[in-house]
Amino acid sequence: MEKKTLTTSKAVIYAAGIFGVQILIGYINSFQTEFYNKMYSAFDPNIFFAAAVIIFVAKVISCIFDPLIGSLIDKSDLPGGKMRPWILRSAFPLAILTTLIFVYIPFDAVGGVKGKVLLYAYITVTTVLWNIAMSFADIPSQGLLSLLSPSAEERNMAAGFSNIGKSIGLYGPGVAVTIVMIILNAIHGQGNYPDKEYYLVTALFLMCVGLFCILLMYRKNEETVVSTNAKNAVSFKDMFLELKNHKMMTIVLLINLLGFARAINAVIVVQLNGAVVGWIDFFGVRMDTTADASWAPGLLGGISGFIGIIVIPFICKKIGEKKAYIIFSILQFVFGLAVTIFYCLLPAGHALRYGNPALYFILIVNFISGFLMCVNTYIPLVITADIVDYYYWKTGTRNEGVDYAILSMSIKLGNALCVVFGLLMVALSGYTQVAYAAGAVTPHMQNVIMIAFYGCGPFSAFLSCIPMFWYKIDGSVKTDMRAALKSENN
């Protein structure tokens, strides 16, 4: 029997490291703007407009750094490998900056124009630094996948586990917030503490969890594939040439840019909860879906996404990544369009527009959409690893740093568009914490947010599948490539 290079236990540890990175990213994605909403919307009702612009600019700036970071990684010759040293170096800055973003500073007490200038200056600096730190963590942690084993089957196994870790990490912060609030309720009494406290305590808790998992990945995983180091720095011109010459990486870029709104569920999920569901009675306990029950509407979506991530590798093995991505994207579009039309036609005051009935409706919808969305995280990562192998097979050169920088850059450019689009839709709806607290949520607010959440995301997914029709590392091409690389490694 052929000895495994990458054991199942090490693949699980790699997934734990991805979970550690993603739980910090997930807390920022889901709760950063809601933190600003709760802390500062009474001070400035335009907080969503301002946050959308700031976060968009911060993500674009971090995208500019992605090629530089990829080049730095490709040129590096550090003890421990190409990716692992950068995983260690990035872990603490990412964890610390995640915590700093959730530190409340009373700029509203300063008041006036000065207070707003200070507020948005602080948000801008911390958000830009966080996004750069995220790039330094994301590129090597994702790029490590292609170096864990020369076997595509073993890498796909690790990719499957890592996507489970990623999915749990992105949903985990909502559960963490609830646990923290339960503990604070036991210490202070029900609700006898400010919102700023549970946000900060949750950030500190996730900082510890994230750091532990990232450092575990660093300590326990090894780079078994030797990768050549780039001799020269990669300029933006070189990046464009990489995309021009390597058409498959251009496809990765396009599917993430065209599919930008697919991630809108992470950006405005708490605002959707507030506008569409609000307060619920959960097993006799009254809970707020913007705070201690923020996880509840997405619970079945997380479960079905988890199931999907387990199932999708088998589907891809049967029909290939190309067909799977196209089929699932079309199904997302059809289902999302049907849900959006159905909800917007509901009359004002309908039972499905608020409270527990709305929760049950969202649970069912999220269960189906969560399964359909699973291809969006799994397939781009897998095909990027295949592309690295493909061009090594064709040219004899491996460029993990640059290729995963392109992957990271495309994801973050898509996320930047998603953030500005999602938050602007929320702002245009008129929804704020002030409206929520006053019980003044209107059907217009609900419809606009539902259109953004369930309509625009699936439409974007449909657009993203178009470039996949030109993806060619599939079927016999992949079979020939894997056979040739396996023969070379033996």
Angle formed by the axes of helices 400-429 and 47-75, nearest 10°:
180
The answer to whether the beta carbons of residues 4 and 154 sit under 8 Å apart is yes
Query: Which own/partner contact pairs does 370-373 have at CB distance under 8 Å and 24+ positions apart?
Result: 370/298, 370/300, 370/301, 370/302, 370/303, 370/304, 370/305, 370/308, 371/304, 371/305, 371/307, 371/308, 372/308, 372/328, 372/331, 372/332, 372/335, 373/262, 373/265, 373/305, 373/308, 373/332, 373/461
For the chain, 490 residues long, give each residue's pLDDT as a single digit of tens.
345 778 888 889 999 999 999 999 989 988 898 899 889 888 888 888 888 888 888 888 877 777 777 777 777 777 777 888 889 999 999 999 999 999 999 988 887 888 899 999 999 999 999 988 988 888 888 888 878 888 777 887 887 788 788 878 877 888 888 889 889 988 988 778 888 998 999 999 999 999 999 999 998 888 887 665 554 555 566 667 777 777 888 998 899 899 888 878 778 888 899 999 999 998 788 888 888 888 888 877 878 877 887 888 889 888 989 999 999 999 999 999 999 999 999 999 899 999 999 999 999 999 999 888 888 877 887 888 888 888 888 887 777 667 777 787 788 788 888 888 888 898 899 898 888 888 889 999 999 999 998 988 889 989 999 999 999 888 888 888 888 877 776 6
**Spatial separation of the C-alpha atoms in residues 128 and 58, rounded to whole Å:** 4
CA distance 71 to 417: 25
Question: Looking at residue 121, what is its pLDDT?
Answer: 92
State which CATH number among 3.40.50.2300, 1.20.1250.20, 1.10.10.10, 2.120.10.30 fits the domain covering 10-222+235-485: 1.20.1250.20
**What is the reported pLDDT for 237?**
66
Instruction: Say which amino acid occupies 488.
Output: E
Report whether 156 contacts 382 (CB < 8 A): yes
User: Which residues lie closer than 8 Å to 197 by C-beta, 6 or more apart?
Assistant: 184
- Structural element, H or E, at residue 29: helix 8-40
d(CA 303, CA 374) in angstroms, rounded, equals 11
* H or E element that contains 282: strand 279-282
Residue ranges of domains in the chain = 10-222+235-485
Q: How far apart are CA 165 and CA 457, in angstroms?
A: 23
Instruction: Report the C-alpha gap between 306 and 471 in whole angstroms.
Output: 26
Q: Which of 302, 319, 337, 299 is nearest to 164 (CA)?
A: 302
